[in-house]
Every structure is written in structure tokens, then in C-alpha cells.
Amino acid sequence: MKPLLQVAPKRGVPGIAKKAISYRLLRVNVNGAWHEFAIGRDIAPNMTLAFLLREKLGLVGLKLGCDQGACGACTVLMDGKAAVLSCMVLAVQAHERHILTIEGLPEDDPVVESFAEQSAPGYGTALQCGICTPGFVMTVKGFLNENPDPTLAEIKEALSGNICRCGCYAGIAQATLRAAEKMRIKRTRESA
Ligand code: FES
Ligand code: FES
């Protein structure tokens, strides 16, 4: 991790003698925009990335299902590729990193489209209450980045860290297969 920057506050507090306070600065890119937070003033040093995203930036797509790394609902992508559990990452560990949340995905993202197409009510749906969906979508994106042509067994293994309390696992696996197919078609078109 790159070292955090030292910054001095821009203004003193009126009526109080100036003290040499300086803050370390967290710089993080979220969904394409850079944000800066003074550690100790804007955020606590032990704040999680999940808390920063939800409470400081209002990105409430990710959910805090367990807050202890057991459900996958808080998954985001770091540096474009790897899916990480944002409840298990300190905000300061995201210094100078690029974070992608569900809000940063376009509507025509192949994974988003695949989940939407697999959402008709009834058996085989990929989403019922939708609480787990952002976490699954981001996990699937990270997985397909690494394995663009997975088997059903590989998909089940890759998604085994995410919990869906509505039990939509079969539909989610089908949506993942569909997303992989869409991405294959897109790659073929782009390379033609
Ligand atoms: S909220 Fe992060 S894994 Fe459950
Ligand atoms: S759709 Fe309800 S928890 Fe997964």
C-alpha cells in the first residue's frame, strides 16, 4: 500500500490558538471519482471500507449482512478486477485504489442484464428480495474477470461464499452462465 499523505487543516478554529495538527489523507477513487478524507478528522482509522462507502458516500447498494466476512453482501471490486469483502477491508487500505460498487455499473452491464433477465417470479429466479443481489453481482463480475468461461461446478464453487436467504442459488448460477455467454458474444463482436 502506498504511504498515506500528510495534510494540514486549511483553517484554524476561531478563538483557539493554532496548533500544529496534521492529518493523514486517504485518497480513494470510487466509481470513477476521487475522494479525500482526513484520517482522524473525517474518518476513524479503524473505519471499514463498507462503512466509508455506505455512510460517507451514500453508496448503499452494498449491504452489511453480517459485517464479519461471512455472507458476501458487501462485495465490491478493487482495482477493476478482484472482488473484496468491504466489511473486512479497512478504508485506509483502499488508499490510492479504485473501488467499483454496484452503483458504478452501467445498466447494460452483462452481469446486471443477466440477473434482470433471470428475475421473473417463481422457481429459477435469481432474485427475490434482492438483498443479496449487489453482492452476488459484484462477486460474479470479479469471478468472470478471472474465469470468463466457467463450468456450472466452477460457478457454484466461486459463489459459495455468498449467502442468499431466499434460496435463489440455482437462478443465480444460471444468471452467471448467461452473463458469461453475453461477455463471450461481446468479446467476439469487439475482436471481429
Ligand atoms: S457483510 Fe461483509 S461478508 Fe457479510
Ligand atoms: S434474493 Fe433474498 S437474500 Fe437473495
CATH number at residue 131: 1.10.150.120
CATH code for the domain in which residue 34 is found: 3.10.20.30
**Is 130 touching ligand 2 by the criterion CB < 6 Å?**
yes
CB distance 119 to 127 below 8 Å: yes
* For ligand 2, mutation pick of 118, 132, 172 (most atoms within 8 Å of CB): 132
Residue 173, ligand 2, Cβ within 6 A = no
61 and 124 co-located in one domain = no
Asked, for residue 113, whether it belongs to a domain, the answer is yes
Atom number of ligand 1 nearest to Cα 66: 4
Quick one: which of 53, 25, 51 has its CA closest to 38? 25
Question: For position 80, what pLDDT does the model report?
Answer: 87
Averaged pLDDT, 3-10: 58
At residue 12, the pLDDT reads 47
Q: How far is the CA of 84 from the centre of ligand 1 (A)?
A: 10
Interval 35-44 mean pLDDT: 95
With 80 as the cut, is the pLDDT of residue 5 above it? no
Q: Which of 103, 134, 163 is the last residue before a domain boundary?
A: 103
User: Does 12 lie in the same domain as 97?
Assistant: yes
Distance CA 151, CA 88 (A): 29
Q: Which of 67-71, 121-125, 182-186 has the lowest mean pLDDT?
A: 121-125
Q: How many domains does the chain have?
A: 2
Mean pLDDT within 45-57: 97
pLDDT band at 145 (very low <50, low <70, confident <90, very high): very high
Mean pLDDT of 65-74: 97
- Ligand 2 atom closest to Cα of 127? 1
Any idea which ligand is nearest the CA of 71? 1
Ligand closest to 163 (CA) is 2
Q: What is the pLDDT of residue 153?
A: 97
Retrieve residue 126's grid coordinates: 435469481
Report yes or no on 191 lying in a domain.
Answer: no
Same domain for 111 and 144, yes or no, is yes
Ligand nearest to the CA of 119: 2
Nearest to 96 by CA among 2, 190, 191, 5: 2
Q: Say if 85 falls within a structural domain.
A: yes
**pLDDT interval class at 70 (50, 70, 90):** very high
In angstroms, rounded to a whole number, what is the distance separating the alpha carbons of residues 165 and 133?
11
Q: Write the pLDDT tens digit of every residue in 102-138.
A: 999 999 999 999 999 999 888 889 999 999 999 999 9
Q: What is the mean pLDDT of residues 36-57?
A: 96
Mean pLDDT value across residues 50-78: 97
What are the backbone dihedrals phi and psi of residue 29, each rounded to the nearest 5 degrees, phi first? -100, 120
The range of the structural domain enclosing residue 55 comes to: 5-103
CA distances from 42 to 5, 10, 54, 59, 89 (A): 14, 14, 14, 17, 18
96 and 170 belong to one structural domain = no
